[in-house]
Chain A
Amino acid sequence: MKTILRLVALLVFLSLILVGQQKSDYATVQLFQTMAESISKNVDKANSVQECAELNASVDALEKKFADNKILLNKAIYPDGYDRTIEHLRGKLLVRQKDLGFIESQVIRITELEATVRGLSDQVQKLNMQNEKLLADIQMLTRNVQKLTGDLFNAATPLDSLRNMIVKLRQGLQDRDALIFALTDSLFLQYDKNVSDMKDVEKQGLLGKIERNNIVGNVKHAIMDNVTFLETTQLKGSDLVALVRQQKRFQSQWTGIAPKLTSIYVSGKTKKYEVSTVDSMLAVWRDKVDDAMWRSLNTLFKEKGFFVKEFKNGEEFSANFIAFLSEQIQNPNEETNDTRFKLFTNFHENLWLTDLNATWLPALTELNKISDTQRKEIEAKVEKWRSIVSPGASWLIYVLVLLGVLLIPILAIRLFPKAAKTPKETSST
């Protein structure tokens, strides 16, 4: 395993040299030969179907990576060249698979999963770089805005480019988070069995893949990026709710893979604390996102001019908000009906319909911050407040009843005039 890791590090180093400067044909040929040689040696050592599949994917990757240098390699490497080297590796692998008695279709299926893993791993790396750049740009722009305005940046800052960047980064973070878990799933799927049923060799193989694809490192990176994003952008309302949802989703996906990783890491010396480290980091993220959410909701009430006692969790929110609504219903200050109606209208149109009922209450219920019962209680209180302060809800009924009482005889006289006259006529005759 160490040899493979060293080899991977060497290849990365050589690749970086190639990227860092103009491409040297000699270096390209050397890299191709080194990679081909390492694959060939690993074929000799392969003992499991996963290893064979991984090597199959390695040959595919080698072929793809050097396809543009085919002519050069065919000329420079005597006698095999590019084509025959690839052909030779495939043949050697096939012989090894047959020697070990593996079924071709099984290897192909796992190879496909391995290719998926590699593709996802590349995408994660690309998104990591893209997100880092976006985050740095946002931090720089935010600092500039702060210098110019003297205020802290907030979601309402009318700066389209910054807003666009934030939206892009939020999407990038979400995509990357999803890819990390998809990548992890693909790794475990290759083994088609529970970790507890795996042989030690398989566990070692899986551990190697987890480390090579830097699963835990990527998870940590993702958490740190999300926390930085949260702290940098100071989002509000539905944007913030989206972040809370993202945290929840991440937490739940991590809960799904953490026990598997723990079982894999049991044999490792240094890695067994990795899972608990991620748990701690997730807890920090959850607390931060929760704090931001309650802070944002408290600010919302204040900004709209409604005094609701400050709250820091769902229970406090529900209790304090209901207390506020009860106070409005009871009217202890004996405010006039007109004042109360205006206050309710302001609450209903500017806070209830736009924010609380549209975004926050469904989100808080969905995120289990408040229960359905608490939500219904809040809604019932708002409805009661409305019924009490609605102008003349009672006198309107009286007017209607009075109108009804007056209209009935008038209508009766108009509709049945003859019936009223007939008895008089009869009596005169």
Chain B
Amino acid sequence: MKATIILFIFLFLVLAGCSSLTLRPGDFAWPIESVSKVNEKGMIEDKQYFFSLNVKDLLYAETQDSINISNVTLRIIRDMNGYYFMTASKFKNVYVFEQIEGGLRIANKIFITQDGIENPAFNQRPPYIQLLNGQNPPVSLTKEGILKGENK
């Protein structure tokens, strides 16, 4: 009996220690987007939010061109849930990423326009991310896609 009780207490402590610790709520929204030029190695470096990232695969995915990458200006913003939205001028899509260890993994690819986005810019408009597309009306984005009721 005594041994059973000791075993039970031991198991309880082990299980309690293994259960995940969750911190909520959190707000990871960036007040303004990060605008970075891709260098010849496919890297971007941000001085305000202090991060660097290799975006070669993203550029290849969008343009099918992994050579002419150094002129691209990539615009990134993070929403309040911590997802990263990325696009650039003439991109047809906005890419949504989530953070993983040492990098980002794609969470969604939102199609915007076949003609490519003109002078894109992201604005933080919680709970959405606003995408400006030249003279076209702005659209509100979530990680799932364009907010219903807005023009695609």
- B138 proximity list for chain A (CB < 8 A): 22
Interface flag for B123 (CB, 8 Å): yes
**Residues from chain B with Cβ under 8 Å of A78 in the complex:** 48
How many residue pairs, one in A and one in B, have C-beta atoms under 8 Å apart?
33
Chain A residue contacts of B31, Cβ below 8 A:
25, 72, 75-76
Those of A4-44 within 8 Å (CB) of chain B? 21-27, 29
Of the four ranges (under 10, 10 to 19, 20 to 34, 35 or more), the interface on chain B belongs to 10 to 19
- With the chains together, A235 CA to B33 CA distance in Å? 58
Nearest-CB distance from B69 to chain A (Å)?
22
CA A29 to CA B122, docked complex, whole Å: 13
B74 at the interface (CB under 8 A from A): no
Query: Considering only CB atoms, which chain A residue lies closest to B125 in the complex?
Result: A25
Asked if B134 and A25 make an inter-chain contact with CB atoms under 8 angstroms apart, the answer reads no
- Contact A25 B123, CB 8 Å, known A72-B31, A76-B31: yes
Q: Which residues of A contact B119 (CB under 8 A)?
A: 21
Docked Cα-Cα span, A78 to B31, in Å, equals: 11
- Asked if B48 and A24 make an inter-chain contact with CB atoms under 8 angstroms apart, the answer reads no
Give, as a whole number of angstroms, the nearest-CB distance from A162 to chain B. 34
Residues of A within 8 A of B48 (CB): 78
Query: Which A residue sits closest to B135, measured CB to CB?
Result: A21
B133 to chain A, nearest CB (A): 8
- Interfacial chain B residues near A75, Cβ < 8 Å: 31
**B68 nearest CB across to chain A (Å):** 24
Q: Is the CB of A21 within 8 A of B123?
A: no
Residues of B within 8 A of A22 (CB): 121, 132, 137-138
Which residues in window 74-91 of B have CB below 8 A to A? 75
- Pair A21/B32 contact, Cβ less than 8 Å: no
Chain B residues with CB under 8 Å of A26's CB are: 32-33, 35, 75, 121-122
Interface residues, chain A, with chain B CB atoms under 8 Å away: 21-27, 29, 72, 75-76, 78
**What are 18 A-to-B residue pairs whose CB atoms are below 8 Å?**
A21-B119, A21-B135, A22-B121, A22-B132, A22-B138, A24-B132, A25-B121, A25-B123, A25-B124, A26-B32, A26-B33, A26-B35, A26-B75, A26-B121, A26-B122, A72-B31, A75-B31, A76-B32
Contact residues of B with A, CB < 8 Å?
Answer: 31-33, 35, 48, 75, 119, 121-124, 132, 134-135, 137-138
A25-B124, A26-B33, A76-B31 known; 5 other A-B pairs, CB under 8 Å?
A21-B119, A22-B121, A22-B138, A25-B32, A25-B121
